């Protein structure tokens, strides 16, 4: 009898409307190697906690929502960072594709096992790439890591030419300025297959979770980002 890989799932959203085209089943996976200052899911950072499931159990759950999926939706693997459980993710992607389900990963492009990346991209219909920062200094400041991994992931993305949605959180005093937006526009030009660009206004709604987990919240003195201004910046990237 086939043994299915096991992994750790944080939660499942059955009516996701923002993480990919149409209605999505969103699988939030445990584990992340970044520590983004604006992260509102610090409870996903640790890999081996929460619900242990086999790939088959996850995909069976996804299949239950087939009527939505048949309306043009699909499954999105998010997190945390889905690439942290690379082998488990790959098995689920393969099973979904075999079942005719549209697959998407919502990723920062980090934390992966390089041995699985080519296949992961092969079985992924859409990549939502969360850009954290576009230069080493700010990337390090915002995530605690250097850009080596994300740059390698981007090189792989270009080879595979996956369809792409690009996202970036706009944080007051950090990247909410015209100079940054113009540089971001240039950075985005390196990608060929971009279907959508979204700027997400920073909000501090996750702050309470930090208190509960006894983790210092680094953006304590930063206000929420003005949504209208964020939209204006977003439109600048599209024109
Ligand atoms: S990559 Fe996502 S889950 Fe990881 S720290 Fe950043 S925002 Fe949080």
Domain of 75 in residue numbering reads as: 6-170+187-200
Q: How many domains does the chain have?
A: 1
Residue 66 lies in a domain: yes
Task: Give SS3 for 127.
Answer: strand
Span from the CA of 2 to the centroid of ligand 1 (angstroms):
33
The tokens for 230 are 């964020």
CA-nearest residue, atom 8 of ligand 1: 39
Q: pTM of the full predicted structure?
A: 0.96
How far CA 62 is from CA of 10, 19, 94, in Å, comes to 15, 15, 13
What are the tens digits of pLDDT across the range 179-200? Answer: 999 999 999 999 999 999 999 9
Residue 1 has pLDDT above 80, yes or no: no
80 lines ligand 1 (CB under 6 A): yes
User: What are the counts of helices (DSSP H) followed by strands (DSSP E) for the chain?
Assistant: 9, 8
Residue 122 lies in a domain: yes
Q: Is 148 exposed, middle or buried (0-12, 13-18, 19+ CB in 10 A)?
A: exposed
What are the tens digits of pLDDT across the range 90-141? Answer: 999 999 999 999 999 999 999 999 999 999 999 999 999 999 999 999 999 9
Residue 215 lies in a domain: no
Residue 155 lies in a domain: yes
How open is the CA angle 10-11-12, to the nearest 5 degrees?
Answer: 145
> Can you tell me the distance from the alpha carbon of 33 to that of 110, in angstroms, rounded to the nearest whole number?
7
Q: What is the CATH number of the domain that holds 63?
A: 3.20.20.70
């Amino acid at each position: 009898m086939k043994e299915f890989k096991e992994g750790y799932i944080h939660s499942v959203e059955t009516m996701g409307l923002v993480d990919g085209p149409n209605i999505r089943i969103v699988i939030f996976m445990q584990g992340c190697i970044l520590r983004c200052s604006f992260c509102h899911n610090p409870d996903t950072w640790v890999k081996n906690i929460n619900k242990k499931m086999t790939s088959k159990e996850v995909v069976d759950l996804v299949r239950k929502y087939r009527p939505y999926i048949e309306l043009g939706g699909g499954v999105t693997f998010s997190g945390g960072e889905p690439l942290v459980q690379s082998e488990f993710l790959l098995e689920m992607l393969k099973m979904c594709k075999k079942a005719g389900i549209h697959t998407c990963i919502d990723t920062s492009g980090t934390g992966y096992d390089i041995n699985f990346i080519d296949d992961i991209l092969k079985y992924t219909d859409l990549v939502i790439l969360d850009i954290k920062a576009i230069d080493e200094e700010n990337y390090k400041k915002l995530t605690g890591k250097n850009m080596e991994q994300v740059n390698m992931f981007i090189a792989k993305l270009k080879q595979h030419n996956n369809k792409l949605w690009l996202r970036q959180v706009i944080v007051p005093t950090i990247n909410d300025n015209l100079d940054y937006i113009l540089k971001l526009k240039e950075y985005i030009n390196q990608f060929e297959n971009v279907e959508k660009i979204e700027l997400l206004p920073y909000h501090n709604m996750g702050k309470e979770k930090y208190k509960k987990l006894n983790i210092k919240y680094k953006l304590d003195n930063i206000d929420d980002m003005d949504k209208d201004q964020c939209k204006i910046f977003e439109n600048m990237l599209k024109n």
